[in-house]
């Protein structure tokens, strides 16, 4: 497709909505039709997203006044998209939902991890999990694509070559995340005196994003998964202690990862031997759609241990960036269109 398409962002006042707008307003084949917010209806978009000042005169529209568009991006709080999915499906040919509502494929898994029955169980099978590196062909053929969990994304991409290569027996993955993962709405845990300087174990066990990793990679390995909040605004870094089924040299591991990601435009392998940036670092990825992956082999381990490290911007590759990447695939655009920003250094 080469024509300009009209998109709207539903629930555009939060951090993910702001990132979607930043990308879509500068996408060469996109015209943003509406941005909805019940709370901010009638106000200029830049009042919530000040970096857009001078770039757009869009005003927030009340959700009740949502018109048809070619693509709807849903950036609503958890549970809201599922409650109104029939209405949204009547408003657009294609929907990309950035919430967790349609990430899991079956009702039992959803109820197990979210603690409540799904509000629209008949819709789960209609959505494709929106991680292009795993589901590109299915995304291209789908009208409905789900968002991805940022912790799940960075972990899935870190482990995928080992799992697909039949090497991984057991992984212990700890994800360190920034405060923007909690969203734009303030809470006791995000209050500055409580958050500043903290390294807080948020979910040592039972984090919902673990279900996405297992769903996308399969059950042929054991995964232990923890999430830790650190003093960072943007970013997610996974340190995965991977215990392999057989001893594998560093050279063979690099060959495996290079082959696996040779044609992925947003996965970069970090292989420096010296310097402060020899391993992936979220700070370098702020505002970008890239996932950086590296690893260190443990030559002293008798358990075939490899430490795999991956980093993303949680609001980009873990949310809005991947959503726009999915839109490009669904519409036959260049997959990288609007997503070429490499990040900032220093920041």
What is the predicted pLDDT for the residue at 187? 82
Q: What is the mean pLDDT of residues 39-60?
A: 97
DSSP string, 244-267: ESS---HHHHHHHHHHHTTT-TTE
Please tell me the predicted confidence (pLDDT) of residue 2.
Answer: 55
The 10 Å Cβ neighbour count of residue 150 is 27
Residues with Cβ within 8 Å of residue 266, at least 6 apart in sequence: 133, 289, 290, 291, 317, 321, 325, 336, 339
- The residue written with tokens 């079956």 in the block is 106
* 151-171 tens-digit pLDDT: 999 999 999 999 999 999 999
- Asked if residue 299 lies in contact with residue 307, where contact means CB atoms within 8 angstroms, the answer is no
Q: What's the whole-number mean pLDDT along residues 209-222?
A: 96
Catalytic residue among 98, 150, 242, 326: 150
Angstrom distance (rounded) from CA 231 to CA 27? 32
Beta bridge partners of 59: 44
Which pLDDT tens digit goes with each residue over 88-112?
999 999 999 999 999 999 999 999 9
CA distances from 308 to 151, 168, 311, 337 (A): 14, 12, 10, 29
Query: What domains are defined for the chain?
Result: 5-127 (3.40.50.720), 150-314 (3.30.360.10)
pLDDT tens, position by position, 169-214: 999 999 999 888 878 787 888 878 887 888 888 889 999 999 999 9
Q: Token pair for residue 184?
A: 């734009």
Task: Please give the pLDDT value at position 129.
Answer: 98
The verdict on whether 150 is a catalytic residue reads yes
Query: pLDDT averaged over the chain?
Result: 95
Which residue in the block uniquely carries the two structure tokens 């890239």?
A: 290
Give the pLDDT score at 89: 98
What pLDDT shows up at residue 133?
98
Q: Omega of the bond prior to 56 within 30 degrees of 0, cis?
A: no
Per-residue pLDDT reduced to its tens digit, 249-297: 889 999 999 999 999 999 999 988 888 999 999 999 999 999 999 999 8
**Paired tokens of 161:** 């070559």
pTM: 0.96
């Amino acid at each position: 497709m080469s024509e300009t398409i009209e998109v709207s962002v539903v629930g555009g006042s939060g951090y993910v909505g702001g990132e979607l707008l930043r990308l879509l307003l500068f996408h060469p084949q996109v015209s943003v039709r509406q941005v909805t917010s019940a709370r901010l209806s009638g106000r200029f978009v830049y009042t919530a997203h000040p970096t857009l000042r001078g770039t757009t005169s869009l005003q927030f529209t009340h959700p009740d006044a949502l018109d048809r568009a070619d693509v709807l991006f849903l950036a609503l709080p958890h549970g809201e998209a599922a409650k109104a999915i029939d209405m949204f499906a009547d408003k657009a040919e294609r929907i990309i939902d950035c919430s967790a509502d349609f990430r899991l494929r079956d009702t039992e898994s959803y109820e197990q991890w979210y603690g409540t029955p799904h509000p629209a169980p008949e819709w789960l099978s209609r959505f494709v999990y929106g991680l292009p590196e795993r589901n590109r062909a299915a995304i291209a053929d789908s009208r409905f694509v789900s968002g991805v969990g940022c912790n799940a994304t960075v972990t899935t991409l870190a482990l995928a070559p080992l799992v697909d290569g039949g090497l991984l027996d057991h992984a212990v993955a700890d994800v360190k995340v920034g405060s923007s993962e909690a969203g734009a709405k303030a809470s006791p845990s995000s209050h500055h005196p409580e958050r500043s300087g903290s390294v807080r174990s948020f979910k040592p066990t039972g984090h919902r994003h673990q279900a996405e990793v297992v769903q996308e990679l399969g059950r042929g390995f054991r995964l232990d998964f923890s999430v830790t909040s650190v003093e960072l605004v943007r970013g997610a870094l996974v340190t995965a202690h991977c215990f392999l089924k057989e001893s594998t040299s560093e050279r063979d591991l690099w060959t495996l990862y290079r082959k696996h990601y040779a044609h992925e435009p947003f996965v970069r392998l970090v292989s420096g031997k010296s310097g402060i940036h020899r391993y992936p670092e979220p700070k370098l990825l702020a505002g970008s759609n890239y996932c950086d992956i590296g690893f260190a082999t443990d030559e002293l381990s008798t358990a075939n241990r490899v430490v795999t490290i991956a980093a993303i911007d949680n609001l980009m590759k873990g949310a809005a960036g991947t959503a726009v990447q999915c839109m490009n695939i669904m519409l036959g655009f260049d997959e990288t269109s609007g997503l070429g920003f490499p990040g900032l250094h220093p920041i």
